[in-house]
Structures are given as C-alpha cells and as structure tokens.
C-alpha cells in the first residue's frame, strides 16, 4: 500500500511538472547560431530530478550530448505539447509527438531538418495492432479494457511519415513498419538497457518451470491476457507478474475470479530493477514471456535477459531477433504460445543453460550505451 501511494504521488508530481515546465530553453548552455529543438520528456532535464531507472533517461542524455557535440543550442519541449512554437529559429528538430506534427502543419520554414526519433513501431501500426487486441479481448471476455491499450495519436504517425529521417529503436521488423507507412530514410538503432546486477546462470528443473512477465502498462497491448489464459490452464507452472498492476482495472476485473483461485500466478507489481527483490526473481525464473502486439525494441526484455540470462519466449513484434536467443511463437495466439512453451519445456536443462549464457552474452554485447552513443553521433554528424 505504501508503495502504491508513493507511486501515485510521484505520477501526480510528474504530471504537474510536465504541465508547468513544458519547455526548457538552451538546456545545454551552448552559445551560437545553430539551434535544435528536442521533442521529448522535459522531466529528464529538470535540475534536481532523480534519474529514471529506465533506458529513456539514458537515451535522452545521449541525444543531448550528441547535439551539444555538434554545436547545437538545444531547447527541449514535451512531446505532448500542442501549443505554439517559433520554428523559424531552428535548423534541426528531433524527437516525436505533436511539436513535429505542428511544424508540418503551421511552419513555412523549408530548410529545417526533421528527424523523427521513434521509441516504438510506426504510430499507425501500433494503434492498429492495439485495436485488434481490444476487439479480440472483447469477444473473449465481453470487457472493454480501453485503459490497457497503447494508442498513439494519428498526428504522431503523420509526423513520422513526413520526416526527413526516422531514427528508430528496434530491428528489421520495426523498421518495416515505417517503410510500409511511407517513410523513406529509416535508420534502426539498438537501445541500451540498465545493467544493475549479475547472477550465476545455472538452470535447474525447478527454475525451468518458473516464468516471468516483466513490463510496465498496456497489459492488453502486451498480451498479458494470452499469458494469463495459458497459465490458468497449466497449474503445474508458475508465473510471476511485474508491472503497474494497480492500474487498468477493467483488465484485472475480467480475471479477478480466476486469479483468486489460481495458486500458480503471483502478482508482484512494480519492482525496482536495483532491488534485491528483482535479483531474486532473476534467480528464481528461467524464462521471460512477452506476447506484445507492437514494440520498438522491448527494453524490459533486454533488462531481464541482460541482467539474469532469462530465456525469452516472445513474438517478433518485440523488436528483438528472438530466434537467435530464445523461442518465438509463430503469432500472438494461445496455440502459438503453447507450442513455443512446449518447445522450451522439452529442451534439456543442459541445453537451456547454454542458451541462457548465449542470450546473456548477446544482449550485453549488442545493446550497449557506447554502441547507442556512436550510432546517434554518426547520424547527427552526417545530417549536420
């Protein structure tokens, strides 16, 4: 209860701060004629703010440092800000959201470079996939779980398709969602993840039967309903759920009766990745499941794999090349998830141990802050 109250207070505080401090001018204190507008969350740049334990905070700082290196004086504006902006003073606009859309709608300036920085799939693709999940869930549960979607405003999708360059977090699958929506110059980039701990990777039969679902919000969009359906039907397997489980009441109400009876499904709630509780879950569980409808690249998966070597059972929409390091369901259906988990369970402990070591090494070598920094720098340098 105390944790829920503190989280509620923090969310209210963030909302108020974003409304008051919707823009910060010359945040990097650079003097000169080259000016850039970064459309992102201003919370990452407010003095005295605690750093978020989320890759977004790393990404925002790398973007700022790279723009500074290129000699830009940077103004930061919230991506949800719909108000007027004087675009005439900028040579570069980078980020996502309404400020980019309003540039195309209102500005007569034609010599400004626009880079859409996407942390997810193309907004139109993401919205379409989320609505399909809603329709499927309604037929199954007769419940309209609107709060569990990940809907992106159409204006964001238009801005992405009109931008000079789309710099996207994700793999070739993610990239194709932009190419299929009219984007021409699409560059993919691997995100960093938070490295907080190491555990000894050692599979046992007991660990093999413990599964982790690790996310934030948008439970329906991320396929938690499909995962719950599976574990409600397989009481011999254990599922641990981490996320903002005190929200999205429509979703949880639909499962309330079943979850009261289920002894194998454990609702953990939000968890700090720096905590001993997080480390203990990594030691306890052998696999992590994500049946998401759409991601850019799931940094939640990367955090679990890169810190604990858990084997992913995830759809191609996760934005990670799952076939290299885990088990990929053919689609996002119950039967496809069942087939993937069966393959996992039928794999020997010895082989799973090797897969775990390989997945751990892959994530720690590919999804690094240095790699992310170098890629951002090269794109901005070429564009500059």
Each residue's pLDDT tens digit, 275-289? 999 999 999 999 999
All structural domains of the chain: 18-192+368-383 (3.40.50), 205-366 (3.40.50.2000)
- Say how many C-beta atoms besides its own lie within 10 A of residue 346's C-beta: 7
Handedness of CA 43, 152, 374, 196 (dihedral sign): positive
Determine the average pLDDT of the residues in 190-212: 91
Determine the average pLDDT of the residues in 292-308: 96
Q: Residue 15: its pLDDT value, please?
A: 52
Q: Residue 150: its pLDDT value, please?
A: 94
Q: Residue 324: its pLDDT value, please?
A: 93
Q: Is the pLDDT of residue 10 over 80?
A: no
Listing DSSP states for 13-54 in one string gives HHHHHHHH-SEETTTT---SS-EEEEES-GGGGSTTPPPPSS
Report residue 23's pLDDT band, with 50, 70 and 90 as the boundaries.
Answer: confident
* Residue 323, Cβ density class (10 Å: 0-12 exposed, 13-18 middle, ≥19 buried): exposed
Q: Residue 276: its pLDDT value, please?
A: 95
Determine the average pLDDT of the residues in 132-139: 95
Question: CA 168, CA 20: separation in Å to the nearest integer?
Answer: 29
* pTM summary value: 0.90
Question: CA 37, CA 24: separation in Å to the nearest integer?
Answer: 10
- Say how many C-beta atoms besides its own lie within 10 A of residue 158's C-beta: 18
23-37, 327-341, 356-370: segment of lowest average pLDDT = 23-37
User: What is the percent of the chain with per-residue pLDDT over 90, rounded to a whole number?
Assistant: 82
Determine the average pLDDT of the residues in 357-377: 96
Report residue 3's pLDDT band, with 50, 70 and 90 as the boundaries.
Answer: very low
- Say how many C-beta atoms besides its own lie within 10 A of residue 276's C-beta: 9
Q: Is the pLDDT of residue 65 over 60?
A: yes
Whether 222 contacts 288, CB under 8 Å: no
| Mean pLDDT taken over the chain | 91
Determine the average pLDDT of the residues in 13-30: 70
Q: Is the pLDDT of residue 16 over 90?
A: no
Q: How far is CA 232 from CA 224, 235, 261, 279, 371, in A?
A: 12, 6, 9, 26, 41
Question: CA 173, CA 297: separation in Å to the nearest integer?
Answer: 10
Q: Residue 50: its pLDDT value, please?
A: 53
Whether 221 contacts 294, CB under 8 Å: yes
Which of the two residues, 381 and 294, has the higher pLDDT score?
294
Q: Is the pLDDT of residue 185 over 90?
A: yes
Q: Is the pLDDT of residue 315 over 50?
A: yes
Q: Is the pLDDT of residue 7 over 60?
A: no
């Amino acid at each position: 209860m105390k944790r829920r109250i503190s989280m509620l207070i923090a969310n209210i505080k963030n909302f108020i701060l974003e409304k008051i401090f919707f823009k910060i001018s010359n945040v990097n204190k650079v003097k000169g004629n080259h000016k850039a507008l970064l459309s992102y969350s201003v919370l990452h740049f407010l003095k005295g703010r605690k750093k978020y334990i989320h890759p977004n905070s790393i990404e925002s700082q790398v973007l700022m440092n790279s723009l500074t290196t290129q000699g830009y004086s940077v103004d930061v504006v919230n991506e949800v800000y719909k108000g007027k902006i004087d675009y005439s003073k900028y040579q570069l606009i980078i980020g996502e959201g309404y400020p980019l859309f309003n540039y195309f709608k209102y500005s007569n300036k034609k010599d400004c470079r626009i880079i859409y920085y996407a942390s997810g799939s193309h907004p139109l693709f993401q919205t379409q996939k989320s609505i399909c999940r809603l329709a499927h869930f309604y037929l199954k549960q007769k419940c309209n779980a609107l709060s569990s979607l990940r809907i992106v405003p159409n204006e964001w999708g238009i801005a992405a398709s009109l931008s000079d360059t789309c710099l996207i977090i994700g793999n070739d699958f993610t990239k194709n969602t932009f190419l299929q929506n009219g984007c021409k110059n699409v560059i993919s980039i691997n995100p960093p993840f938070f490295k907080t701990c190491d555990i000894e990777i050692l599979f046992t039969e007991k660990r093999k039967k413990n599964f982790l679902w690790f996310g934030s919000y948008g439970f329906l969009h991320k396929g938690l309903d499909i995962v719950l359906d599976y574990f409600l039907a397989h009481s011999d397997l254990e599922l641990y759920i981490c996320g903002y489980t005190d929200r999205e009441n429509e979703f949880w109400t639909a499962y309330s009766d079943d979850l009261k009876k289920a002894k194998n499904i454990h609702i953990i709630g939000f968890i700090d990745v720096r905590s001993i509780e997080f480390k203990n879950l990594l030691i306890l569980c052998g696999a992590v499941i994500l049946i998401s409808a759409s991601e850019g690249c799931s940094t939640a998966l990367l955090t679990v794999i890169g810190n604990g070597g858990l084997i992913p059972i995830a759809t191609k929409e996760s934005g990670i090349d799952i076939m290299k390091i885990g088990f990929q369901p053919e689609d996002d259906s119950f039967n496809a998830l069942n087939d993937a988990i069966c393959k996992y369970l039928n794999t020997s402990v010895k082989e799973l141990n090797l897969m775990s070591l390989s997945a751990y090494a892959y994530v720690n070598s590919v999804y690094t802050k240095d790699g992310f920094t170098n890629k951002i720098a090269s794109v901005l340098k070429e564009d500059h």
